[in-house]
Chain A
Amino acid sequence: MPLETVLAVIGAALIFAIVITALFAPWIAPYGENASVGGAYEPWSAVHVFGTDSIGRDILSRMIYGGRNTIGLAFAATCLAFFIGSALGTAAAVLGGWVDLVLGRLNDLLMAIPQLIFALLILTVVGSSAYTLIAVIGVLESTRVFRLARSLSVSIVHQDFVEVAKLRGESLGWIVFREVVPVSFPNLLAEFGLRFSFTILFVSSLSFLGLGLQPPTADWGALVRENASLIAFGDVTPLLPAGAIALLTVAVNLVVDWYLAKIRRRSAL
């Protein structure tokens, strides 16, 4: 088996394990999300695998719940981004004309503001909750999806087979869902993977800055922030949640790389 395939299998296994852990957090985590079950800052032990935090909560349990929150939030935001971005991007390409122009300009405008700054501004005003986070991140990320979906669709729309469909008298629905989307779908799927891993980084950055899910809810970015003071003593525990993020994003990237190579090979045939 080529190296890329081996890495992709490892990546897929990692994603599977992390997602299962997140889904079944209440059954897997040894303690509750916010239960104070020990003394402050207990070291690693058999009872508390990664020790406890400043108010005696089990860090491993908070990591497991945190994964559930971070991944769930990022997944929802990515789905929203794809729903908005691919629908509008494909529409802009297929309809062309002023629809394309207006949507394109609006998208450029949103992309002209740095994402993190924009998110900070809006979240400061409307306040952070799961819903506002999903909405803000979803809309900001949809600009990237829009760009890709539009450029993919534009190149497809100008192919002769779409011209043939138009000449055949096909409806707009057929052209979009039967001619354009099936061809752009593999690339959009790969982009979904990349966007998802980027969104996890984004969500955790916001949490790290204190604008993610609000305490006492656990999430991977906030866990680093909560326990950051331990780092000054050379304790790496606060880095574990960040490590979990890295593991997940690397795993997603490995699978996406393999998948992209596969669809490139197929289209080169």
Chain B
Amino acid sequence: MRNLILTRLALAIVTLFFVSVIVFAAVRFLPGDIAQQLLGQSATPENVAALRQQLGLDVPGYISYFDWLGGLFRGDLGQSIATGRSVSELISGRLANTLFLAGFTAIIAIPLGYIFGFLGALLKGTSFDRATNVIALSIISLPEYFVAYVLVVLLAVKTGWFPALSRVSPSMGFLDYAERLVLPSMSLGFVIIAYIMRVTKSSILNVLGEDYVQMAQMKGNSRFRVMFVHALPNALAPIINVTAINLAYLVVGVVIVETVFVYPGLGQLLVDSVAKRDMPVVQAVCLVFAGIYILVNATADILIVLSNPRLRHAK
């Protein structure tokens, strides 16, 4: 089992390496001259050449890749073309904001997803089950910005309960900060609750069909004990998996929600930089997102291995 876990970790590192190559190569080798695009058609050839040099486009690809990678390890991600500021400085504050929003949402939404999933399995076929099913399906079918804007209309514009925009700054007090987080995390949270609920419910229902669950009933266990002691430990793998997918989604899904609420996180930085074609920033943010995503997925895979008694206790 230890080998399995180490292999999975090694795989994550290798994947991260390849992803960095892809992120780098995308800018470098895909059709479209970034320098020309940035300066526009009217730019003089001298200006374009100068910018190419600044972006490191004039040296062979593999050399500038290793320069870039080396900088990465030193925490030096280069300079933003648009603002001239250091990329790592730009990212660090934004990353904290994004992680805060994601964490805030996760703490509330993920347990709610589990609870609704358990209830759905326990009350299968009742009107509660049907109603939550339909609601979950609808939420999954909605674009994220739709949920966000509906919340803005209902809870900000019409009632004025919460601010419609979430511009925050480090100097703000905690309550002010939290108030501005409510609508963005609700927009993210609904989708997460819906996904986690559906998977939790169906994986428990799957296990309820197993022979050992019937045996547990024939041994006189209560319905509650059958569900939580006998079924749940064997339904963990898909539940862990969907939790990871949603945690990863939280970090990535913020791109849209941050745009809607003008929340100064990493996602908004990415969208702004994309609009300005500020490639050093785009590359760095993409790599950070991919890194978090890979890390979360690797953690989930390892937890799944740990939750499997056949792997935990070898023959």
Contacts and interface: CB of A to CB of B under 8 A. Distances in A.
Interface in A199-245: 201, 204-205, 208-211, 221, 224, 228, 231-234, 236, 238-239, 242-243, 245
Contacts of B259: 208-209
A126 B290 contact: no
A210 B23 CA distance: 20
A201 B143 contact: yes
Given A113-B19, A120-B270, A239-B150, A224 B32 contact: no
Contacts of B260: 228
A205 B286 CA distance: 17
Instruction: Classify the interface of chain A: helix, strand, loop or mixed.
Output: helix
Contact of A113 (B31, B34, B146, B290): B290
B271 interface: yes
Contact of A109 (B19, B143, B153, B157): B19
B23 A121 contact: yes
A228 B146 CA distance: 11
A224 B15 contact: no
A117 interface: yes
Contacts, number: 128
Interface string B140-159: 11111110011011000110
B255 A209 contact: yes
A254 to B, nearest CB: 8
Interface stretch (B63-71, B172-180, B234-242, B274-282): B274-282
Given A112-B15, A233-B157, A253-B141, A117 B289 contact: yes
Interface in B235-274: 248, 252-253, 255-256, 259-260, 270-271, 274
Contacts of A211: 274
A175 B270 CA distance: 47
A117 B34 CA distance: 19
B149 A109 contact: no
Q: How large is the interface on A (under 10, 10 to 19, 20 to 34, 35 or more residues)?
A: 35 or more
B137 A125 contact: no
Interface of B: 15, 18-19, 22-23, 26-27, 30-32, 34, 37, 137-138, 140-146, 149-150, 152-153, 157-158, 164, 248, 252-253, 255-256, 259-260, 270-271, 274-275, 277, 279, 282-283, 286, 289-290, 293-294, 297
16 contacts: A109-B22, A112-B19, A112-B290, A112-B294, A113-B293, A114-B248, A117-B255, A117-B286, A118-B286, A125-B32, A205-B144, A228-B260, A233-B157, A242-B143, A242-B149, A245-B146
